[in-house]
Amino acid sequence: MQINTAQLLKQAIGSNRSYEINDMFIADDERESGECHIQGTVELIRTDRGILVQGKLAGTSNIMCSRCLTMFDYPLSFGMEDEFFPSRDVTSGISLSLPDDSTTFMIDEYHILDLSEAIRQYVLITIPMKPLCHPDCAGLCPNCGSNLNQNACYCDSQPQESPLGNLLRKGK
């Protein structure tokens, strides 16, 4: 997801170019987000300060269901709009100071604009705090641990003795 912006930075304000995105990446966080696949089109627009990136992206992220703990593909769809600031002037080669803002995205000194971190942040915002593989996911049986989406257990109709309970009774 790296785009060379040297040509666009030399153009007039308002100049723009479109790029197709079709990429896999890993959006790791505590929700065990796995592999993401992102597709879409972004438009890069030359602004007075840098380059504005606008686009609509969609794809999937392989994440773990918070209820039954199986991995599933969560559908992603989001719009992005971020301004990227050059760290070096494209014509003079002089290093530029960046806006004093920790959320600022940079274009590196070789004029490469890397969309990965911005897209990773959108993905992490899009994924719910407690993702569900299905709105009515049945989850795991708290007694025997079987996945109730795949097979019903008989814990409710026939309460089963725990192995410890059996041992204690045999010992009497």
Total of chain residues touching Zn ion, rule CB under 5 A? 10
The smaller minimum CB distance to Zn ion, of residues 144 and 168, is found at 144
The smaller minimum CB distance to Zn ion, of residues 96 and 155, is found at 155
The smaller minimum CB distance to Zn ion, of residues 118 and 137, is found at 137
How far is C-alpha 58 from the geometric centre of its chain's CA atoms? 11
The smaller minimum CB distance to Zn ion, of residues 1 and 148, is found at 148
How far is C-alpha 154 from the geometric centre of its chain's CA atoms? 38
Nearest-angstrom CA–CA distance, 83 and 98: 12
107 near Zn ion, rule: CB under 5 A: no
**Minimum CB distance to Zn ion, residue 142 (Å):** 8
Q: Which of 31, 46, 67, 111 binds Zn ion (CB under 5 A)?
A: 67
Helix (H, G, I), strand (E, B) or coil at 10: coil
Q: According to DSSP H, which parts of the chain are helical?
A: 6-9, 116-126, 163-171
- The footprint of Zn ion on residues 1-60 (CB under 5 A) is none
155 near Zn ion, rule: CB under 5 A: yes
Q: Which of 36, 76, 137, 140 binds Zn ion (CB under 5 A)?
A: 137
143 near Zn ion, rule: CB under 5 A: yes
Q: Which of 144, 152, 167, 168 binds Zn ion (CB under 5 A)?
A: 144
Helix (H, G, I), strand (E, B) or coil at 163: helix
- Which residue bears the tokens 């599933």? 72
Helix (H, G, I), strand (E, B) or coil at 171: helix
118 near Zn ion, rule: CB under 5 A: no
Nearest-angstrom CA–CA distance, 121 and 109: 23
**Minimum CB distance to Zn ion, residue 43 (Å):** 37
Q: According to DSSP H, which parts of 43-158 are helical?
A: 116-126
